């Protein structure tokens, strides 16, 4: 795989008697993933290999092979043999030294008649204007390579130009200097068949609650790229992870593509024109037992050749952390307004979970006031599927508290605490 770019070659600088607790922990993240495929470059003989056999030098241009500028070199370059050494007199792979205007290099590339091609090139940030390069494809001027300064500086940037359809089975690629008296560097040039510029994005909430609703917005697009070609036979899928029940799916189409019936996933788009989008709003209900995270995975696959550096399988994943709120309540009464010294009284303590989420392992405890000595505890299920703590230790209940191992939404427990009045009164 071979790559080149013409660039400037000058130097670079570098509380409450009863305690009740629900423990909830959560974090937030959203993940986006897209595939990137390997290029099938038609350009031969990269300059940084130290050879130039496939190139013809025009108008007095000469070659001075130099190592690449060593900061964050793109893997497309290094995988093709680019050096990682520093060389300050020439920031890129190879220099065309001292050329007059109109000089440059030319190479003949084997092409398929009627097939569109794109050229991708890499530049490195530089605070100054660098030499512009006129690009000729099969003898026709198709554009100008004018390296763009990335923001922030000191990084590589890839740009793509449409070359149009190949008219012959062997097409010449010429890179001609526009400015005179400037040293320029050929860094990385990639010529490949063009195709649809497909993308997929996926967005959802960062945090969701048990029993609540969740919506994801997924957009599949065929962007107006260098070739602006329609896509065909595109398979689109979307899957929500366990912990949620799929509800309604809404679709909005723009630019000529048509929403599928239903819609339901998966489905195949037979015609996906350039500049068109399919946007889905995918609604679901979060289970009351959901834990950790919920994910929605959207994917697009095609057997069609796509634009350079776009994989035939694109995946976008949105993940939402599940928070576990539950509406908990507790009441405590003995039905009396006064107490007599030396007698006993029974307190009824009712703990309830109104949902929407389960509240397993909720800890319930009680701290009697002075003048009460409590020595017996009982527990009864008074609603739903909650389970009484076991063992039912009165000392633990009066201290650190007893965990309710299973406390579903809509359930309740009643604790009966027997206490002796030790206070003597006034």
Reduced to 3 states (helix: H, G, I; strand: E, B; else coil), residue 162 is strand
* Max avg pLDDT among 21-25, 74-78, 320-324: 320-324
Q: Return the bridge partners of 419, or none.
A: 345, 374
Given a cut of 60, whether residue 149 has pLDDT beyond it is no
Q: Residues 313-348: pLDDT tens digits?
A: 899 999 999 987 888 999 999 999 999 999 999 999
Phi, psi values for residue 395, rounded to 5°: -65, -40
For residue 330, the number of C-alpha atoms closer than 13 Å in the C-beta half-sphere is: 16
Find the range with the poorest average confidence among 18-22, 82-86, 165-169, 340-344: 18-22
Q: Which residue has the higher pLDDT, 125 or 323?
A: 323
Q: How confident is the model at residue 4 (pLDDT cuts 50, 70, 90)?
A: very low
Give me the pLDDT at residue 19, please: 29
Give me the pLDDT at residue 106, please: 87
Taking domain 326-421, whether its CATH number is 2.60.40 is answered by yes
Give me the pLDDT at residue 262, please: 87
Given a cut of 50, whether residue 133 has pLDDT beyond it is yes
Give me the pLDDT at residue 35, please: 31
CA-wise closest residue to 358 among 82, 109, 22, 58: 22
Find the range with the poorest average confidence among 69-73, 287-291, 388-392: 69-73
Q: Residues 151-168: pLDDT tens digits?
A: 555 667 777 888 888 889
CATH number of 6-14+38-193: 2.60.120.260
Q: Which residue has the higher pLDDT, 23 or 260?
A: 260
Q: Give the whole-angstrom CA distance, residue 143 versus residue 173.
A: 12
Query: Is there a common fold for 6-14+38-193 and 326-421?
Result: no
Give me the pLDDT at residue 333, please: 96
- Give the mean pLDDT of the chain: 78
Reduced to 3 states (helix: H, G, I; strand: E, B; else coil), residue 234 is strand
So where are the chain's domains? 6-14+38-193, 197-323, 326-421
**What's the CATH architecture for 197-323?**
Sandwich (2.60)
Residue 138 per-residue DSSP state? T
CA-wise closest residue to 318 among 299, 290, 345, 340: 299
pTM listed for this prediction: 0.59
Q: Which residue has the higher pLDDT, 63 or 251?
A: 251
Residues constituting the chain: 426
The b/e string for 228-241 (b: 16+ C-beta within 10 A; e otherwise) is: bbebeebebebebb
Given a cut of 60, whether residue 105 has pLDDT beyond it is yes
């Amino acid at each position: 795989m071979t790559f080149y770019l013409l660039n400037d070659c000058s130097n670079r600088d570098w509380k409450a008697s009863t305690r009740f607790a629900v423990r909830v922990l959560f974090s937030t993240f959203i993940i986006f993933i897209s595939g990137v495929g390997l290029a099938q470059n038609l350009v031969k003989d990269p300059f940084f290999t130290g050879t130039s056999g496939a190139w013809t030098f025009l108008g007095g241009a000469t070659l001075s092979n130099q190592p690449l500028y060593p900061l964050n070199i793109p893997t497309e370059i290094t995988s093709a043999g680019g050096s990682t050494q520093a060389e300050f007199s020439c920031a890129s792979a190879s220099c065309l030294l001292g050329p007059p205007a109109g000089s440059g290099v030319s190479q003949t590339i084997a092409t398929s008649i009627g097939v569109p091609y794109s050229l991708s090139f890499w530049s490195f940030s530089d605070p100054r204007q660098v030499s512009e390069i006129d690009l000729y494809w099969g003898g026709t001027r198709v554009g100008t390579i004018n390296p763009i300064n990335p923001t922030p500086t000191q990084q590589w940037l890839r740009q793509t130009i449409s070359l149009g359809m190949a008219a012959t089975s062997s097409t010449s690629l010429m890179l001609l200097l526009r400015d005179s008296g400037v040293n320029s560097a050929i860094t990385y040039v990639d010529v490949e068949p063009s195709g649809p510029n497909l993308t997929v994005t996926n967005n959802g909430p960062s945090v969701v609650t048990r029993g609540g609703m969740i919506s994801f917005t997924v957009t599949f697009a065929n962007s107006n790229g260098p070739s602006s070609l329609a896509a065909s036979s595109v398979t689109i899928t979307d899957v929500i992870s366990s912990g949620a029940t799929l509800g309604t799916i809404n679709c909005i189409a723009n630019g000529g593509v048509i929403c599928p019936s239903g819609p339901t996933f998966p489905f195949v788009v037979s015609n996906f024109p350039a500049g068109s989008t399919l946007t889905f709003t995918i609604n679901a209900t979060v289970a009351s037992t959901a834990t950790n995270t919920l994910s929605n995975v959207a994917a697009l696959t095609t057997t069609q050749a796509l634009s350079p550096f776009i994989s035939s399988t694109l995946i976008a994943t949105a993940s939402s952390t599940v928070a576990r709120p539950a509406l908990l309540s507790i009441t405590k009464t003995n039905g009396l307004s006064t107490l007599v010294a030396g007698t006993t009284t029974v307190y009824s303590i009712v703990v309830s979970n109104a949902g929407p989420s389960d509240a397993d392992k909720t800890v319930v405890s009680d701290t009697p006031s002075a003048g009460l000595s409590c020595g017996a505890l009982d527990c009864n299920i008074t609603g739903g599927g909650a389970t009484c703590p076991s063992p039912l230790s009165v000392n633990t209940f009066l201290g650190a508290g007893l965990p309710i191992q299973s406390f579903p939404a809509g359930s309740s427990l009643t604790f009966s605490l027997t206490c002796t009045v030790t206070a003597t009164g006034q």
